[in-house]
Structure 1
Amino acid sequence: MKVLGISGSASRYSSNYYLLKAIQSYAEGEHTMSVYDLLPNFELFTPDKLKNGVPQNILTFKTQVIDADAIIICTPEYTHNIPAVLKNMIEWCTASGEFAHKRILPITFTPIAPRGEFAMSSLLMSLQTMDAKVVSQLPLYKTDVDIEHQQIELSEDVRDLVGAALELF
C-alpha cells in the first residue's frame, strides 16, 4: 500500500516530521511510505488564487495525495488548534476534493497529555468536511517515544498502536 505521511507542523523538521519518519521505517516492507513536510512553503490560500492558477508546488502535493492509497496526518497543537500551515493545506484541497474517500489516520503528537485534544477535534471536523474516511485517531505524546539526535525510536506499545492503525488501512 502506498502511504503518504503529512507533517502538519510549521517547523520544517519538527518532531512530527521525525515521528512520521519513524513510522515510515516501521512500516517498511509492508507499505511504501513517503513523508511530505513542506507545508510552510505553501502560498496562502485565497479563492481568487484558484481562478488564477494553482502554484506548481501545490499541484505536485495534490498529485501525491491522489496517488496515495492512505494518508497519515501528524500534527502538533498550536493555541488549541491545528497549525495554520495545515489548515492552509486543507483549504487548498477542499474544493478540488483530493481527500474525498481517502483513508486517513490523524495523529496528534504533543509533549504531554491532554495536549492535542483540541487539534484532533479541529482536524477531524476538517476531514469530515472533505469526506475523508478516518480509519482511527491516534493521540501520541513525546513521553511515549525515545527522542535522540532528531531521531525517534518507537516504543513497543507505540509500534503496536501504529501497527493496528495501519492494519485498518
Structure 2
Amino acid sequence: MKILCISGSASRDSSNVKFLKAIAEHLSDKHTAEVYEGLYRFPLFTTERLNAGMPEIINLLRDRITQADLVLISTPEYNHNIPAVLKNMLEWITDSGELFGKRVLPITFTPKAPRGEHALISLQMSLKAQQASIISEANFYKTDVEFVDDLIVLPEDIKLMFDGLLEI
C-alpha cells in the first residue's frame, strides 16, 4: 500500500513531522510511506490565485495524493482548531477533488489530553466536505511516545494500532 503522510504543522521542526516519520518507518516493512512536510511553503489560497492557475508546488502534492492508497494527516491543535497551513492546503485541493473517495486517516499529535479534540473535529469536517473516506481517527499525545535524540520511538501499542488499521 502506498501511504502519504501529511504534517499539518506550520513548524519546520514539528513534533508532528517526527511522529509521522516514526509511523512511516514502522510501516515501511510492509508499505511504502512518504512524509510530506512542506505546507508552510504554499501560497495563501484565494479564488483569484486559483483562477490564475494552480501553483506547481500544489500540483506536486495533488499528484502525491492521487497516487496514494491512503492519506494520513497528523495535525497539532492551534486555538482549538487546525493550523492555517493545513486549512490552506485543504482549500487549494477542494475544487480539484483529490480527496473525493480517498481513504484518509486523520490524527492529532499534541502535548497532552484533552488538546487535539477540537482540531480533530475541525479536520474531519473539512475532510467530509471533500467527501474523503475517513477510515478512523485518533488523538495521540507526546506523553504516549518516547523521544530519543530528537527522534520519536513508538511504543508497541501504537504500532499494533496502525498495523490493525491498515489491514481494514
- SS of aligned partner of 1:98: coil
1:45 lines up with 2:45 in the alignment: yes
Deviation at 1:45, TM superposition (A): 0.3
Count of aligned pairs between the two proteins:
168
- Deviation per residue, 1:41-99 (Å, 9 max, x gap): 00000011111111111111111111111100000000000000000000001111010
Letter in 2 for 1:114: P
TM-score, scaled relative to structure 2:
0.98
Output the CA distance in 2 between the equivalents of 1:149 and 1:82. Answer: 28
Point out the more displaced range, 72-81 or 10-19: 10-19
Query: Residues 65 and 98 of structure 1 are in contact (CA less than 8 Å); yes or no, is this contact kept in structure 2?
Result: yes
Name the structure 1 match of 2:18.
18
Letter in 2 for 1:21: K
Letter in 1 for 2:87: K
Output the CA distance in 1 between the equivalents of 2:16 and 2:150. Answer: 11
Name the structure 1 match of 2:60.
60
Deviation at 1:13, TM superposition (A): 2.7
Name the structure 2 match of 1:101.
101
Query: Residues 13 and 37 of structure 1 are in contact (CA less than 8 Å); yes or no, is this contact kept in structure 2?
Result: no
- Counting aligned pairs with the same residue, the percent is 51
Query: Residues 10 and 40 of structure 1 are in contact (CA less than 8 Å); yes or no, is this contact kept in structure 2?
Result: yes
Letter in 2 for 1:64: R
Deviation at 1:148, TM superposition (A): 2.2
Backbone CA RMSD of aligned residues: 0.8
- SS of aligned partner of 1:118: helix
Name the structure 1 match of 2:129.
129
- SS of aligned partner of 1:58: helix
TM-score, scaled relative to structure 1:
0.97
Query: Residues 99 and 130 of structure 1 are in contact (CA less than 8 Å); yes or no, is this contact kept in structure 2?
Result: yes
Letter in 2 for 1:41: R
Deviation at 1:146, TM superposition (A): 0.3
Deviation at 1:164, TM superposition (A): 1.6
Deviation at 1:12, TM superposition (A): 1.5
Deviation at 1:19, TM superposition (A): 0.6
Name the structure 2 match of 1:81.
81
Output the CA distance in 2 between the equivalents of 1:84 and 1:107. Answer: 16
Name the structure 1 match of 2:7.
7
Q: Which runs of 5+ in 2 are unaligned?
A: none
Name the structure 2 match of 1:155.
155
Letter in 2 for 1:124: Q
Q: Which runs of 5+ in 1 are unaligned?
A: none
Name the structure 2 match of 1:92.
92
